[in-house]
Structure 1
Amino acid sequence: MRREGIVRSAGDDPDRALLARLADDPPATSRQGFIALLNAGLPTKRVISQGLLRDEQGRVLLCRLTYKSEWDLPGGVVEVGEAPARGLEREIREELGVDVHARSLLTVNWLPAWRGWDDACVFLFDLGTVDASFTDTFRLQPTEIMGTEWCDVETVRAKATAAAVEMLDAVESGDLPVYREAPPGPE
């Protein structure tokens, strides 16, 4: 059983989900079929994993992205069925061309819908400290990453998304809860 789309209704009528059932899917009356039916109709939430990577001077690595004006922490969208830490490692391998190891989870940050994007949960992982020359080994994926830069606090404030700035401020202050909710961003 798979979700094929949403039929939008007019007025106060509820929207309807279109589901597809393949010939080899279990019957909807079976336990497995019933779970598949429920799963196909449940809401999905985008999961993003980002990494906090610092150089020996304490500067933070930011990426200049092709699809938005603000810079952001390295990382990206986690694939369906992929663990957030593994998704971060894969995204960095794909976009920066290097291997990193996601260490401890620093926080989970809920992002409200923004500029046409649906809401999402961001997992922020510590990537440790590296020599600043680490960026010399990057092979940037040009469809997503225009550049990278080690940024001090002032540069982060000037270039990064408001959500990233707020999250990094919480890291710096030591007041970082396990779960956070970012305020709505400007349109």
Structure 2
Amino acid sequence: MLARDESGRILFVCPTYKPFLEIPGGLVEDDESPLAACRREVREELGIDVTVGRLLVVDWLPTHGVWRDSVQFVFDGGVLSRDQIGAIRLASDELSRFEFLALESAQSQLRPSKARRIALAHQAVSAGETVYGEFGRRLG
């Protein structure tokens, strides 16, 4: 989910189990839609309910290591209010911290394909469109 603060910086979380930043979200469970999974994961990870907006990006990822190929969805989390930000309570078994950063400032802390996907989502917000990508590269 792509959420921003009032300055337009993107909300990033730092997982305890890997060395890269992420945006809030996660895997779908059996019989769960991508939108429902986004809402659930944000609630579990951040401890807040966010109005999840429109679909920004659909991105296909190829097989990598133990992970099969997958389709990633990025939804618009909108602009979080100061009250919402103040209410964030991280799932301590999963996340060590959160911060709002400009995408350019976060690039070195992101996997390259994730950085490309987030850039597509950021562009989609501004353009009012939904983008299809493969491995973080826009197609179509």
Q: Given the two structures, how large is their TM-score scaled by the length of structure 1?
A: 0.64
Matched, 1:57 2:10: no
Aligned position for 1:121? 71
Letter of the 2:133 partner, please give it: R
How many residues are aligned here? 133
Report which structure shows greater RCO (CA 8 Å, sep ≥6): 2
- Are residues 54 and 70 of structure 1, via their aligned partners in 2, closer, same or farther at CA, if it must alter by over 3 Å? same
Q: Using the TM superposition, give the Cα deviation of residue 177 of structure 1 relative to its aligned residue in structure 2, in angstroms.
A: 5.7
Q: Over aligned residues, Cα RMSD in angstroms?
A: 1.9
Indicate the percent of aligned positions where both proteins have the same amino acid.
35
Q: Identify the match of residue 102 of structure 2 among 125, 130, 152.
A: 152
- Give the distance between the partners of 1:93 and 1:172, measured in 2 at CA: 22
Matched, 1:83 2:33: yes
Structure 2: gaps of 5 or more residues: none
Higher Rg? 1
Aligned position for 2:135? 182
Structure 1: gaps of 5 or more residues: 1-50
- Give the distance between the partners of 1:161 and 1:104, measured in 2 at CA: 24
Which residues in structure 2 correspond to 1:21-100 (within 5 Å)?
Answer: 51-100=1-50
Deviates more, 1:171-180 or 1:161-170: 171-180
Runs of 4+ residues over 6 Å off in structure 1: none
**Is the CA contact 1:73–1:164 (under 8 Å) kept in the aligned structure 2?**
no
